[in-house]
Structure 1
Amino acid sequence: MSRWEPNARGRLEQAAMELYVERGFDRTTVAEIAERAGLTERTFFRHFADKREVLFAGASLLQEFLVNTVAGAPNSAAPIDAIAAALEAVGVLFEERRDGVRQRQSVIAANAELQERELIKLALLASAMAEALRRRGVTDPAASLAAEAGIAVFRIAFERWIDDTDERDLPHHIRESLAELKAVTAGR
């Protein structure tokens, strides 16, 4: 193998996902991922701390995107609407990667440890969005409630999107789930 391999990270991600789907997360080793990608284990560890990180490496970028979108919402936007705008924007990004997102979710759904890690990620996203709302002048508990409700809306919408045989987009499901939340809280 040469010292420099083009797109090593992308190749490792692709190899890992293929193996996770074929063999399961638990039955896949870092050595197998590196071998499938035509790289060394050392190269794997230059890009990822462990094999879970292949699935969660984008969490910080996702958080940054959500926080920036909440911060950029119009000043007149209600807290839940600023959160909804951020979630819809993420929905558009996920839509562009629909097959890969669905594949990732199937791997996570098959493993309790990964499900726990996903819940931790969602909790961190809610905390970050609540803090973004506080910086906009929203006080607690409104900031925390809006962010936590937004994550609940996202989880429900995401699950519907993953299972949607009609191929409606994720932003559609986010808007629909938010409307249902607003109807429930309005007592309708």
Structure 2
Amino acid sequence: MTIQSTSVSSKQSHLHSEAVYQTLPCKGYFPNQFHLKTIPQNIGWYLAGFADGEGSFYVTFRYRKDYTWKWRITAVFNVANKDRVMIYLFKKQFKCGTVRDIGNDKYLYEVDTLNALQHVVIPFFKEYRFFSAKKKKEFAIFQKIVNILAITPRTFSQIKEILKLRMQLGSDRINLFKNLDTSILEVIQKEVIDKNTTQP
């Protein structure tokens, strides 16, 4: 009976924690909600270590007819794992981003808004640094990309620089990126009247 009671109590605690997590902001970053110093250090270092092994930094290009250069460029940080509570812990501490079920009993935490990346994700990983050389390199490249994306209006040369940095960020997919980048540049070049044209 004692074992059964403990099991029920644990289950109720888990459901309560999950309910609390689900009331957090859904996507963007809300000023004054995230405070780096309020994250307990043991939690901060644990999240950083978890992201070192399970996290990803990448950039997407999505075709959009209403954009001057015809591409929407988005920087993304995400973490995927089967441990649902662990994934929601990122959302609870970062107070931004989204969590979704991606199948095969795995959950994905993702931050793809520029404001949240600038004011939450990057400051967090500057404070709680990665240990692996690979992730340190990826994070440094990712910061450069986010800095360029923060510049508006954006120039053709800056988009080319993002493509160059993305190639370094995904060195394991370099052949795929070469083909994609060629297609992206071909579409952009059709829109270029002169190199001073800018994207709103």
TM-score by length of 2: 0.31
Higher helix share: 1
TM-score by length of 1: 0.33
Higher strand share: 2
